[in-house]
C-alpha cells in the first residue's frame, strides 16, 4: 500500500515501541479510511468527515481487532500494545476500547513496516466492512 520503509533503516524500524507502531498505524489507517470514503461518498465534506470518524473511532477499531484471527507474531504485537502505558486516553471511549484500538493501530503499523502488504490490506479492508456509513 504505502512504501515509506526507505525513510528509516530496517533495523530502526524493527525496534519501534508498541506506542510508536500505534502512532504510525493510526496515520496509515486514517489515510486508508479517508481515501476510501472520498472514493465511495459523493456527499458534502462534513458528511464524509462523520463517516470517517465512525470508522476511525476507538470503539470501531476495537471491534475490528476482536473480529480478526491473529497470527502468532501479530498476537505478540497486539498484547504488547494493549498493555503499553499511554499517557492519555480517548475522549469518547472506554479504557478497554481505547487499549484495543491502540493495539489495532500498532498491528497496522507493524504490518506496514514489515512489508506484509497482503495482510495489511486484509486488516484495512476488514476495518471498512459491516459499518453503517450514513
**Looking at 26, 73, 130, 132, which residue is catalytic?**
26
Average pLDDT of the segment spanning 113-127: 95
pLDDT in tens, 23-74: 999 999 999 999 999 998 888 899 999 999 999 999 999 999 999 999 999 9
Model confidence at 10, pLDDT cuts 50, 70, 90, reads low
According to CATH, the topology of domain 15-126 is Ribonuclease iii, N-terminal Endonuclease Domain; Chain A (1.10.1520)
Burial classification of residue 101, based on how many CB atoms lie within 10 Å of its CB (0-12 exposed, 13-18 middle, 19 or more buried): buried
Residue by residue, DSSP assigns the chain as: ----GGGS-HHHHHT--HHHHHHHHHHHHHHHHHHHHHHH--S-HHHHHHHHHHHTSHHHHHHHHHHS---HHHHHHHHHHHT---S---TTS-HHHHHHHHHHHHHHHHHHHTT-HHHHHHHHHHTTSS----
Q: Tell me how far apart the alpha carbons of residues 98 and 125 are, in angstroms, rounded to a whole number.
A: 21
134 flagged as catalytic: no
Q: What is the pLDDT of residue 101?
A: 95
Say if CB 58 and CB 90 are below 8 A apart.
yes
Q: What is the pTM of this model?
A: 0.86
Cell numbers 503499523: residue: 109
Q: Is 113 exposed, middle or buried (0-12, 13-18, 19+ CB in 10 A)?
A: buried
Amino acid at each position: 500500500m504505502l512504501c515509506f520503509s526507505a525513510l528509516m533503516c530496517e533495523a530502526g524500524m524493527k525496534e519501534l515501541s508498541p506506542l510508536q507502531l500505534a502512532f504510525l498505524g493510526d496515520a496509515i489507517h486514517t489515510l486508508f479510511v479517508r481515501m476510501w470514503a472520498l472514493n465511495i461518498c459523493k456527499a458534502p465534506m462534513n458528511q464524509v468527515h462523520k463517516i470517517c470518524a465512525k470508522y476511525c473511532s476507538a470503539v470501531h477499531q476495537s471491534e475490528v481487532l476482536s473480529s480478526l484471527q491473529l497470527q502468532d507474531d501479530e498476537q505478540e504485537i497486539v498484547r504488547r500494545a494493549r498493555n503499553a502505558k499511554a499517557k492519555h486516553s480517548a475522549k469518547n471511549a472506554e479504557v478497554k476500547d481505547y487499549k484495543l484500538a491502540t493495539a489495532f493501530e500498532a498491528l497496522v503499523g507493524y504490518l506496514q513496516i514489515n512489508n506484509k502488504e497482503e495482510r495489511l490490506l486484509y486488516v484495512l479492508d476488514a476495518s471498512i466492512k459491516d459499518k453503517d456509513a450514513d
